[in-house]
Amino acid sequence: MAGRAPVRGTKLCRNYSAVAKLPPTEFQPKKYAGPLWENTEKIKSEHIPPSVFNFYKKPLLLHQGHKQWLFDHTGRRYLDLLAGVVTVSVGHCHPKVVSAVKEQMDSLWHTTNIYRHPKLYEYVEKLADKFPGDLKVVYLVNSGSEANDLAVLLARLYTGNNEILSLQGSYHGYSSGLMGLTSMQSYRLPLLAPSGFHHVRNLIVTKNYGHFIFLTSFPPVALPAWCAQVPLPDPFRGAWGGCRDSPAQAPGACSCPGDCVATDNYIHQLKQLLEHSVPVRGVAALFAESIQGGGGTLQFTKGYLKKAQELVKNYGGLYIADEVQTGFGRTGDHFWGFEGHGVTPDIVTLAKGIGNGFPLAAVVTTRDVAAAHARAAYFNTFGGNPLASAAGKAVLEVIEEEKLQENCKVVGKYFIEKLKDLQARHSVIGDVRGKGLMLGVELVTPGSKEPLDNSKVLDILEATKDMGVLVGRGGKKSNTIRLKPPMCITKEDVDFSISVLDEAVRSVMQ
């Protein structure tokens, strides 16, 4: 497939003749045999919740994947730069992972962790070996939300404190128990606040092709009294700017050789919150992503997490690292994102890439923290079942054997340099950021830091899709293009992606 198809069904109907050809592959997809595209529209309207919105104006019907490629019902091939929302780590349908799960299915499909089975023990030992210090106790669960919920419980049990801090712009899950930690307005539901909850005014939200439109005032959002959000140390939009650990810096950023000089100002804000907004007894934990994913690939000023951990520790709290998106070598320099900050957490949560799409997640902590959980029985029906353990073990082996962390570092550096070149050509690109193969491109109104109008963002995403590249979007105003591909992509794939993004931005903004 050449990747030169015109955009159909939008005002951008044109032939993208300037776009490079889709990189070749010998893989041939199976013939699609599922329901007609039109039938899926009917089924969605009748049986799928309206909150599950269409990502594109002309939705894709995907039926097969191979490595970094996805195929729709017509057989057309797409370069996947979102990886199932940062979930497909080693590539779609990687043969080693597929083989490991099939082999396990032939011997033992399911048993719970009240019994011992070999794959569970082989896997947790291999996973624990990847962690520094005393982080050696592994809970296996089923999703990132479940892992984060368990981490909150462990921190509160261990410290005897109740309050959990999270950073503005964070996404830690969508469950009712985690909505207080998730500090993104677009994911916060307008619920009436029961007693014992803070009243925070919010706005009712409607969606149009994934565009959150804020319409009018609505009853308060339920913000649990044990949640507090910390001001964001954002080098691009933060009050003091700053520099970050990335080959690309925000416009006008400083270039500090060590910790950023702006970090102390953001830490002062954290200290003020601790002194005025939490009980005297202290806090249970600071919950933070190493790089914010849903928040728009947002990085903190250098040195922030280390100083924040030290400050929170003085208030009796733990540091919980959310590695759901940044783990397993994706950032390139390190296997875990927190290592890039020079810190060792007390609890780490894992999901998404851990199973390459298989429902698997984990919480890793110390023996001391885990001991506090032994006051009551604990049981998880599916966590660490034989199939999940087989998939997780195979993913770790593929990352090692195919040197995918190194690929993230090399190809990621190449990608971000090409994105910086793209930024120099298009004033609509306000910021390029990230590390390894976790990258973000923030779109702004040219000449300002105002988020680009969402209709134009959606048009750009539609155009990239119609030229054969699938990307995501995130950030407070959903104006950041998220680039988090399978970790096996190549420089040739990057060149094609840059060609597509260049043409998409030019076509929409000219």
Question: What tens-digit pLDDT sequence spans the chain (510 residues)?
Answer: 333 333 333 344 456 666 788 999 999 999 999 999 999 999 999 999 998 888 899 999 999 999 999 999 999 999 999 999 999 999 999 999 999 999 999 999 999 888 899 999 999 999 999 999 999 999 999 999 999 999 999 999 999 999 999 999 999 988 877 888 888 777 776 654 444 444 443 333 333 434 333 333 334 445 566 788 999 999 999 999 999 999 999 999 999 999 999 999 999 999 999 999 888 889 999 999 999 999 999 999 999 999 999 999 999 999 999 999 999 999 999 999 999 999 999 999 999 999 999 999 999 999 999 999 999 889 899 999 999 999 999 999 999 999 999 999 999 999 999 999 999 999 999 999 999 999 999 999 999 999 999 999 999 999 999 999 999 999 989 999 999 999 999 999 999 999 999 999 999 998
End-to-end CA distance of the chain: 27
- Give the per-residue pLDDT at 145: 95
Distance CA 345, CA 324 (A): 14
In eight-state DSSP terms, residue 186 is G
Report the Cα 366 to chain-centroid distance in Å.
Answer: 25
- Give the per-residue pLDDT at 8: 35
- Give the per-residue pLDDT at 184: 76
Type of residue numbered 298: L
- Give the per-residue pLDDT at 4: 35
Distance CA 297, CA 158 (A): 31
> In terms of pTM, does the model score above 0.75?
yes
Q: Using alpha carbons, list the distances in angstroms from residue 86 to 158, 199, 374, 389, 478.
A: 31, 33, 33, 20, 17
Could you give all domains of the chain from N- to C-terminal order, each with its CATH number?
A: 37-80+404-509 (3.90.1150.10), 140-185+225-401 (3.40.640.10)
Q: Using alpha carbons, list the distances in angstroms from residue 317 to 154, 155, 274, 345.
A: 12, 8, 11, 11
Distance CA 141, CA 174 (A): 16
- Give the per-residue pLDDT at 196: 44
- Give the per-residue pLDDT at 431: 98
Torsion of CA 249, 255, 256, 258, to 10 degrees: 50
Type of residue numbered 162: N
Nearest one of 278, 180, 266 to 231, comparing CA atoms: 266
- Give the per-residue pLDDT at 179: 80
Q: Which two tokens stand for residue 433?
A: 């950021």
Angle formed by the axes of helices 491-509 and 404-425, nearest 10°:
30
Q: Using alpha carbons, list the distances in angstroms from residue 50 to 35, 57, 191, 475.
A: 20, 15, 18, 22
Distance CA 151, CA 155 (A): 6
Distance CA 168, CA 296 (A): 12
Name the CA radius of gyration of the chain, rounded: 23
- Give the per-residue pLDDT at 191: 56
Nearest one of 245, 192, 256, 265 to 223, comparing CA atoms: 192
Nearest one of 328, 480, 474 to 407, comparing CA atoms: 328
